[in-house]
Each structure stands twice: as structure tokens, then as C-alpha cells.
Structure 1
Amino acid sequence: MDIAGDLEPDRIMCVHSTKVVENQIKATIYMKITDLQPLYNTVDALKGANVAKMGLYRERAKRFQTFADDAASHSEELQQQLISYSYAEEGVLLYIRLDLALTLDCRRGKIVKVDHVFQLTSVQEAV
């Protein structure tokens, strides 16, 4: 996705583990993202229709609310940190664990389903 590269130019992703179980490939991925509000203010692509679907709102408070609403993905303490950083002007570091499962159709050799579950593991002010 091109827009993610524009909004998160320093994104780091590391595949921690992968395994094949029957017709699924399962992976655990760790990510570090710096949320920089000035980038969201300048990217014209955020005016598109799919923006809300992807959670890439121009306003940080709306973006962070997406994480805060998924209470199963983090602790109460992280939820409070998200709320406190949602109106900050400075950059915010987000550390995320992503569990990804690709389901394959073995006869056609194609991916037929992509499932993902994220867990916010840490939030802090970018220095």
C-alpha cells in the first residue's frame, strides 16, 4: 500500500515466526510505527473513500480511537496512554504485534482468505 509508505516512512516490521498448518501459513510479526501528525495533514490521498475503512483518518484522535475501541488488543494502561497522546503535537511511537494467517486453496495455489489480529504492546512519545 503506497499510502502507508508516505504516512509511516520509518515503519519497521520483523517476522518473528512462521509455520504451516494444513492449508494455512501463520506468522507473528512485530512492528514499530511512528505516528507523525504533520504527515497526515499533508497527504492528499487521505481524501479517498477507503480511508475510513483502513483507519487512516487525518485526525490523530480518530486514528487512536480505532486502537482504543479494540480493548481486547491491549491493557487499560495502554488505552489511557493512547487517549493522552491522541491530541499531542509530537510524534508517537506505536509498537504492535500482528498475528497473520493466510488460508490457501491447495488446488488452485491461491490465497483465499487473510485473517489478522493485532495487539498494541507499547505506546510512547517519539524522541
Structure 2
Amino acid sequence: MVFKKIANQAQETAAGVSAAAEEKIDAIIDEFNKFMPFAEELGLSMASFNIEAGLLPQIKTTLIGSIDNINNEAVERIIAQNDNNKLLIAVLKAILMAKSVHERLEGAYISVLKDLVIDIKLGVPPSISCRFQ
């Protein structure tokens, strides 16, 4: 009887955590949907989209575009006009940082890598990584 009670409590807790995570994912998806038109404006396109189901569901997506097509002024303008979209701002700041690093390493071997690849994990917690290919 005690085991059943503990199992029920664990199940209720897991359901609560899962529901909270699902609400968070819904909010992040809304931000992501608002982000995509800006990504397209910067010449980025979606290369992949994955959904992972589980206690804490995740959505992973990859965007790709030419680093040469990223206009710093356009990125700064989009950031200023959308200061309430946390995902958008985080991705755009990552793009600016990646472009800055790429420009500083221009004389090195990285200059042949012109495609910017942005991996975004929409989950709890979300993450963003940039790489070149």
C-alpha cells in the first residue's frame, strides 16, 4: 500500500513536471515561429527539425546560411525592434558573436568555411550553438 502511494505521488509529480515543460515548450515554439521570418530575412534557412518526446520534450532545429550575407546593422535593428522575444535576441546575439569571431580569424584557415550553422535546442533549458562549415 505504501509503495502504491509513493508510485502515485511520483506519477503526479512527473505529470506536473511534464505539463510545465509542455507549457514552456509551447511558449518557446511561439517565439520560434516569430523568429523564422527574421531568420529568412538574414538569409538563414531551416536545414533540420527534430522532436524528442520524453519527460522533458525537446525540439531541435538547425539553421544554415552564408556568413557573408549576415548584415550586422540588420541584426541590430531586429534586436532593437523585438526586445521582448528572448529566443530571437539570444540567437541574433549568437550570430553576431559568430560573425565577429569569423572576421577576426579571416586570415586563418576558418576563412574557407563560409556557411554559418546554428543549432537551436528548444527545451528546458534551451541552448544555441554556432559553427562554420
Q: TM-score, normalised by structure 2?
A: 0.42
- In terms of fraction of residues, the more helix-rich structure is 2
- In terms of fraction of residues, the more strand-rich structure is 1
